[in-house]
Amino acid sequence: MSGTLTIDDQTIPFSDGQTIIEAARTAGVYIPHLCHRPGYTPHGSCKLCTVKVNGRTCSACTFPAAEGQKVVNNSEELQEARLRITQMLFVEGNHFCPTCEKSGNCELQAVGYHLNMLDNHFPHFYAHRKVDASHPDILIDHNRCIFCNLCVRASRESDGKDVFGIAGRGIHKRLIVNSPTGQLKDSNISVEDCAVQVCPTGAILVKRTGYKTPIGGRIYDQHPISTIACKKRETDAT
Ligand code: SF4
Ligand code: FES
């Protein structure tokens, strides 16, 4: 089955089984998101993709596309809510872009630019979480984790492993490594794993590659996320 729906009055087609975000992406319409990645099981946790469908508030990454839906994506109200969510993510962890190796390749930073984020709005938490540098090739800076669950799903669904998990709730939420010591060096992760590549922030990094591409020449230095996210990315599962 297939049909059409409208997003901000633009008619777009969808095919059977597609969510609203996937139908939008296929048509080149960007709906901001962070925990969604094509091909991975939807998670619906970051709420950045919130849209209105026939007047109801829904997550576009989990809500199935259906005939005749009227979707509002680009309203002032929704962009304001997305801006607040993004600002919360920034203050809850340590996202200091000018000193982060991921700057210019970071989706959180790129979403901040898309939403014209000019300040943090909220007081900073100054997170004091661990850095796991135990693995010879991979580093985890837990202070930059936004708990999007993408590494958990990528490890399970693409790598056929189960390296990561998320434990705890609220401010006690944390990314855990499934290894006898809880350290990355004792897990079966490898540097080629999709779980290493998929992180939308600088939480999971490959060592000695941080400045391979100079700042200014990186993906979101060159193109807005609204363009990049509508194309196939290397870290998509499909
Ligand atoms: S480490 Fe990265 S991919 Fe994994 S949950 Fe945190 S932000 Fe998401
Ligand atoms: S992208 Fe939909 S909730 Fe995160």
**17-28, pLDDT tens digit by residue?**
999 999 999 999
pLDDT over 70 (residue 222): yes
Whose CA is closest to atom 7 on ligand 1? 145
Distance 1 CA to ligand 2 centre (A): 25
CA 89, chain centre distance (Å):
11
Q: What is the dihedral of CA 201, 57, 5, 220, to 10 degrees?
A: -20
Label residue 77 by pLDDT band (50, 70, 90).
very high
Q: Give the helix/strand (H/E) hosting 88.
A: helix 76-92
Instruction: Determine the average pLDDT of the residues in 94-119.
Output: 97
pLDDT for the residue numbered 171: 83
Distance 202 CA to ligand 1 centre (A): 9
Using CB atoms within 10 A of its CB, is residue 88 exposed (0-12), middle (13-18) or buried (19+)?
middle
Query: Which of 33, 150, 173 to probe ligand 1 with, by most ligand atoms within 8 A of CB?
Result: 150
pLDDT over 70 (residue 137): yes
- Taking phi over 0 as left and psi of -120 to 50 as alpha, with beta for the rest, 38 belongs to beta
Instruction: Determine the average pLDDT of the residues in 24-48.
Output: 97
pTM score > 0.85 for this model? yes
Q: Does residue 61 have its Cβ closer than 6 Å to ligand 2?
A: yes
Ligand 2 nearest-atom number relative to CA 47: 3
Ligand with the closest atom to the CA of 145: 1
pLDDT for the residue numbered 76: 97
pLDDT over 90 (residue 61): yes
Distance 10 CA to ligand 2 centre (A): 22
Distance 116 CA to ligand 1 centre (A): 23
Instruction: Determine the average pLDDT of the residues in 52-77.
Output: 98
pLDDT for the residue numbered 1: 65
pLDDT over 90 (residue 234): no
pLDDT over 80 (residue 31): yes
pLDDT for the residue numbered 122: 98
